[in-house]
Structure 1
Amino acid sequence: MESPLALYRRYRPETFADVIGQDHVTTPLRAALANNRVNHAYLFSGPRGCGKTTSARILARALNCEQAPISDPCGECDSCRDLARGGPGSIDVIEIDAASHGGVDDARDLREKAFFAPVRSPYKVYIIDEAHMVTTQGFNALLKLVEEPPPHLRFIFATTEPEKVIPTIRSRTHHYPFRLIPPRLLTTYLAELCEREGVSVEPAALPLIVRAGAGSARDSLSVLDQLLGGAGPEGITHDLAVGLLGYTPASLLDDVVDAFAAGDGAAVFGVVDRVIETGQDPRRFTEDLLRRLRDLVIVSAVPDAPATGLIDVSADQAERLVQQANRFGPAELSRAADLVAASLTDMRGATAPRLLLELICARVLLPGADPSESGVLARVDRLEKRASIAGGPPSAAPVREDPAPPTAQHPTTPVTEPETSAPVVEPAPAMPEPVEPAVAPAPEAEAPAAAPAPEPAAAPEPAAPPAPAGALSLVDVRRLWPDIVEATKLRRRVAWMHLTQNSQVVAVEGTVLTLGFANTGARDSFVNGGCDEILRQAAIDVAGVDWRVETIVDPGAAGGQGATPPPRQAPPAPEPPADEDRDDPPPAAATDPGASSAAREAIRSTRPAGPADDDGPSRAEADADAHPDDPDADTSGLAGAELLQRELGAQVIEEIRHS
C-alpha cells in the first residue's frame, strides 16, 4: 500500500477561491479573467510557500479552460483535468525551474520553441519558477520575446527576490506581490484540515505550528504533516508539538518570568540550570524568552490584546500573560526585552552559550547596575509601582511607618503641659501631699503629646485597592517570606522577633495575608504594637503587594527559627510578713512569651539585677545589629514606667517605695 501524498500536495488549491490570505492578488486576477483583459506577462513575487506557483497554475488553467473567459477554471474540461491535482499535465503549459535552466542557452532554446502554436489549448503558457536565478544574459535573450510575444504566448514569472529581475523585464510585466498568511487565518485553516483528516488537535498546539511555519502555508502544512505522523490516539497535543518542534516548555518561561518579577536570582539561575540539564538549546530558550517578553510588552500596553487577536495564544496562556504583565512596569519589560534581543546576536556561534545566558539574566535582575537611560527608567518604574500600591486612594489618610500602640481609652481632660506629668509617674520626695486622684490619669496624655497615635478603631479604614490580577500564591509568598521578614528587621526589631519566633504564614487569599501565632499573648502583642503595619510596608518594598494582615491563634505555629518554648511556671512564693519589705509580684507581661521584648525589658527594669530570662533573646542580642531608626532598638534612656506606658498602654497611678 502506497503512503499518501504530503499534505501540501493533497490540499493544493485548484481555484482562486481556495487560495487563502492573498485576496489582494486573487480578486483582481479573477476580474481580469472574467473581463478577458489578461496581460501577456505576469510577475508573482513574495515569500516562499505563499501560493505564487499555485496561483500561476490556476491562471494557466483558467486561460485554457473551454469555458473561458471565466474567473475560475471549471474543472470539467480536458484542460482543467490535465492541470488538476494529480493530473498528467498539459503539453501547452510548460514549467521551467530557472535555478537549473537560467542560462543564455536555455533562454535561446525557449525563444525558438515559443513561436510554435499550442497543441490542444488556446494559449501556450510558460511558468518560470525562481525567476531571480535567470542570468542577466538569459533575461536579455528573452527581452524581445517578452516585450512583443505572439498572440498565443503568455509568460508567468515567480520569484522570491523580484529586485534581482532586471528592470527591463519587470517593466513589461504586471507585478503582483504575495504576502505571508496572517496567523489567525492560518490557524483556522489548519484546524479545518485536521477535521478533514479525522485527527484531534489541542488548541494550544496550533499556535506552535503556525509559528514554525512562519506564515507560509506550505511550510505550515509540512509541520502539521510531521505532527500527524507522530500523533498517538489522543491526537496532536501541546507537549508533542513542543517536543518535536524544539520549543521551550511554557512552564520554564513562566518560572523565569515570575522570578524576574520577584527579583529572585536563585530561581532565575535555577531555570537556566534546568535548561542546560534537559539538553535544550540556550539560544532557542533566549529566543523564546524574547517572544514571551514581547507578548508581555503588548499585554502591558493593551490588556485585552489576547481577546482582540494582537497576540495569538490559548485562553489559559492569555490569562497567565495578563497576570505576569501586571507584576512589571512598561520600562522594566522594555529594558528586559532590549537586553535579550541584543544578546541574541552575541550568542551566534558562541563557545559558552550558558555563560552568555546567565549574564543576560544577571543584567535583567539588576537594573541598579545599569547606568543607561533604560536602567534608570526601570528603577523609576519600580518606585512608581510601589508608591501607587502603598499610596492607596487619593483620599486615604497617610499611613505612619511605625505607629505607636493604642492606649487605653478613658474620658480624661487633656493636659496642655506634658512636663507636669513627670512628678506623677516618679513622685519627688519633697512633695508634702499625695497626688490627687483627678491628676492621676496624666500619663495617658503624655503619650499622645510625645507621639500621637492613630485611632484605627474610630476612623473608618480606607477602601482596600482591588486585588491585582497577578496576586501571589501561597508558594510564592513562602518563597519570598525570608526577604520580607528581613525587611521588617530594618524597620522594627520587635516585629522581626515576632515573625521569626511566634508566627508563620497560614494562608494568602488575594490581598489578605493570614498569620498564625503560637498563643493569644503573642498575637495581641503583635497587633497592639503596630507590627502588622510594619509587615505591610515591608511586603510592599520586597514583593510589591499591599496585604491586609489578619492574625489567628494557631498552637502549632512556629516562626522561621522554631516555636517559642512555653513559659516556665514559677513556684508560688511564700507570703512575706506584713512588716517586711517586699517587692510587688511581676506583671503577666514579664512571663508572657507573646509580650514584646521592650515590654519585658520595662518589667525587668523594676526588678533587681539577676540572671537573664530564657523566654526569648536577651536585650543585648536583640539590639546588636538594630537599625538606628528602630524605636525598639534602644530603651536605655526610658524609665520603666515610660516603657510600660509605650509598650503595654499601662498606667502608673502611684509608686510606693520602701526604705
Structure 2
Amino acid sequence: MSGALYNRYRPATFAQVVGQEHVTGALMQALRTGRLHHAYLFSGPRGCGKTSSARILAASLNCVNGPTPEPCGVCEQCVSIRRGVSMDVTEIDAASHGLVDDARDLRERAFFAPASARFKVYVVDEAHMVTAAAFNALLKVVEEPPPYLKFVFATTEPDKVIATIRSRTHHYAFRLVPPGALRDHLTSVCTSEGVDVDPAVLPLVVRAGAGSVRDSLSVLDQLLAGAGPDGLGYDRAVALLGLTDGVLLDEAVDALAARDGATSFTVVDKVVSSGHDPRRFAMDLLERLRDLIVFAAVPDAPAKGLLENYSLDQIERMRGQCGRMGPAELSRAADVVHAGLKEMRGTTSPRLLLELVMARALLPAAGSDPSALLVRLERLERRAEAGGNTGPSHDDAAAAPAAATTTGPGPSAGPAQPPTPARVSGTGEVRAQPAPGP
C-alpha cells in the first residue's frame, strides 16, 4: 500500500491520539457537556498531534451525531473533513498566508454561514508565522465571532502569538510522547503492516523520533522500506539510520573504565574506518553516558522506564560499567564529550578532535578543574574499599616525585638527619637555621 505511514495511521478520533490524554480528555468532556469555546490554541512540539486534533475537533463538531466526543467517521462531514475537501473546514498555512491582506480576506469570508456543516471551522497552522498586524486585523472576529464560527490556532511557538489573541482562546499545551507509549504505538503499526521487526530496533526508532509520533513513523517508514524478506534486523537498522553499533559504545565505555588508551584509540579507528561520522559517535556516546549516570543513581532505572528498552545482557554490562567508573567519573566523561561536540562543529578534522576527547576523558590527572580532582579521589576511595594494595595507578604517578623528596635516604646514606629548623627574620623572611655540628 502506497502512502507515508504518518498519513495512513493519522488518528481519526481523540482516542487514537497517542500520548495527549490531558488534552483529548478535556476536549471530549467539553463536547459531552456542550461547554464549547469559539477559539482554541494548540501548542507543542512538532509531530505531536496538534493539527490532527484540530481536524478531529472539527469532525466532532460537524458529525451527523454531533457535537460528539466520538465522531462516526462515515458520514459525509466526517469523510470530507478527513480528506481535506470540506467547504466549511478550512486549513490555512500561516507560513504563506500570514500577512494583513490574508487576514482581511479571511475576516470577510468568515461571516458567511456554512454551506452544509453545522460549524465553519478555520484551522490556522503555524500560527506563530502570522504577523502582529494580521493578528490585529483578526482580533475583532476572534473576539466576537458569529455563533457558527470556530477558530483553532496550532503553533510550536505560542509566545509569538500576540497576547490579545491568546487571551481570547482556550490554550491546550501538547507535549512530547513518552518513550513507552511511543514504542507501544510503533509495535502496533508494525503488527498492522505485517513486518517482522527485531525488538531491539524499536528503541532506535523511538530515540531517532525524539518524542514525535510523526517523526518516529517517518523513521520507521524508512526502515521498513529497506527491510529484507526476513524482516528488519538490528544491524540493518543501525546501518540505515547511521547510528553507532552498541558494541562500539560498550568498547569505548569499557576502555574509559579501565583507563585503556590503546583500546580507546582503536575504537576511534574503527569508527572512522567503518564510515561512521565521528560527531554521530560522540552524540551516541554522550547518550550512553547519560544512561549510565541514571543507572548509577537509580539501580532499578530499567524497571522504572527511565532507560531505553535494553536487553538483559546489556543491562548487566551497564551495571558492571557503573561499578567500575562511579558517578563522578561518568559525569566528568559526559562533560568532556559534550564540550568536544561543541568543538566538532565545522571542524575540518573530526577524527583528531574525537581522539582528543577520548584522551581528555582518560586522563583526569591532566585537568585542574574540580571535577578532575573529584574523579581522582573517587578512584582512590574505590581502591581503598576493594582492599587497595594493587600498586599505584596512572593518576598516582604524578605524586611519586613528591613522595621521593620527603622520604629518607637509603641504608647506604647513613642515619636520617632531623629536619632543619627555620627562623623568621625581622623583615618577615623565612630563613633556614644552620644545623648544629656533631
TM over 0.5: yes
- Provide the residue aligned with 2:372 in structure 1: 375
* Stretches of 4+ aligned residues off by more than 4 angstroms: 540-543
Measured after TM superposition, the shift of residue 14 of structure 1 is: 0.5
Corresponding residue for residue 134 of structure 1: 130
- Higher RCO (CA < 8 A, seq sep 6+): 2
2:254 to 242, 255, 258: 258
3-state DSSP of counterpart to 2:386: helix
The one-letter code of the counterpart of 1:81 is V
How far off is 1:308 after superposition?
1.8
The one-letter amino acid of 1:208's match is: L
Q: CA deviation at 1:88?
A: 5.8
| Deviation (angstroms), 1:200 | 1.0
User: 1:71 corresponds to which residue?
Assistant: 69
2:196 corresponds to which of 192, 195, 200: 200
Residue matched to 1:244 = 240
Residues 23-59 of structure 1: per-residue CA shift (max 9 Å, x gap):
1100110000111111000000101000000000000
Q: Tell me, what secondary structure is at the counterpart of 1:95?
A: strand
- 1:271-326 Cα offsets, whole Å, 9 max, x none, are 11111122211111111111111111111111221122110132232222112111
- Alignment correspondent of 1:338: 335
* Distance (Å, rounded) in 2 between the aligned partners of 1:312 and 1:389: 31
Partner of 2:78: 80
Mapped to 2, the partners of 1:46 and 1:271 lie a distance apart of 39
Residue 50 of structure 2 aligns with an amino acid whose one-letter code is K
Structure 2 equivalent of residue 388 of structure 1: 385
What is the distance in 2 between the residues matched to 1:296 and 1:68?
A: 51
Return the TM-score normalized by structure 2: 0.88
Is the 1:61–1:79 contact (alpha carbons within 8 Å) kept by the matching residues of 2? Answer: yes
Unaligned 5+ segments in structure 1 are 392-536, 544-626, 628-632, 635-659
Q: CA deviation at 1:234?
A: 2.1
Q: Secondary structure at the match of 2:288?
A: helix
> What is the CA–CA distance in structure 2 between the aligned matches of 1:140 and 1:368, rounded to whole Å?
61
What is the CA–CA distance in structure 2 between the aligned matches of 1:226 and 1:296, rounded to whole Å?
Answer: 30
- Structure 1 Cα separation of the partners of residues 338 and 84 of structure 2: 50
* TM alignment of 1:109-508, pairs within 5 A: 109-315=105-311, 316-390=313-387
Once the two structures are superposed, residues 316-370 of structure 1 have per-residue CA deviations (whole angstroms, 9 ceiling, x without a partner) of 3222211211111111111111111122111111122112111111111111111
Tell me the SS of whatever aligns to 1:311: coil
Q: How far apart, in 2, do the equivalents of 1:20 and 1:347 lie?
A: 36
Q: Distance in 1 between matches of 2:231 and 2:362?
A: 40
Number of positions where the alignment pairs a residue of Structure 1 with one of Structure 2 = 396
Q: Would the alpha carbon gap of residues 388 and 205 (structure 1) be closer, same or farther in structure 2, given more than 3 Å must change?
A: same
Q: 1:109, 1:251 → 2: CA distance?
A: 59
1:19 corresponds to: 17
In proportion to residue count, which structure has more helix? 2
| Offset of residue 165 of structure 1 | 0.8
SS of 1:43 mapped into structure 2: strand
The CA RMSD over aligned residues, in Å, is 1.7
- Pairing partner for 1:98 from 94, 97, 103: 94
SS of residue matched to 1:390: coil
Question: Is 2:40 aligned against 1:42?
Answer: yes
Q: Are residues 255 and 88 of structure 1, via their aligned partners in 2, closer, same or farther at CA, if it must alter by over 3 Å?
A: closer
The equivalent residue for 2:399 is none
- 1:52: which partner in 2? 50
Kept in 2, the 8 Å contact 1:102–1:138? The answer is: yes
For residue 217 of structure 1, what is the amino acid of its counterpart? V
Tell me if structure 2 keeps the 8 A contact 1:296–1:333: yes
Shift in alpha-carbon separation, 1:122–1:148, aligned structure 2, 3 A: same
Q: Distance in 1 between matches of 2:132 and 2:184?
A: 42
One-letter identity of the residue aligned with 2:367 = D
Identity %: 62
Per-residue CA deviations over 1:404-451 (Å, capped at 9, x if unaligned) read xxxxxxxxxxxxxxxxxxxxxxxxxxxxxxxxxxxxxxxxxxxxxxxx
Matching residue's letter, 1:294: R
Distance in 2 (alpha carbons) for counterparts of 1:141 and 1:268:
62
CA deviations on 1:358-416 (whole Å, 9 max, x unpaired) are 1111111111111211011100110111111117xxxxxxxxxxxxxxxxxxxxxxxxx
Shift of 1:541: 5.6
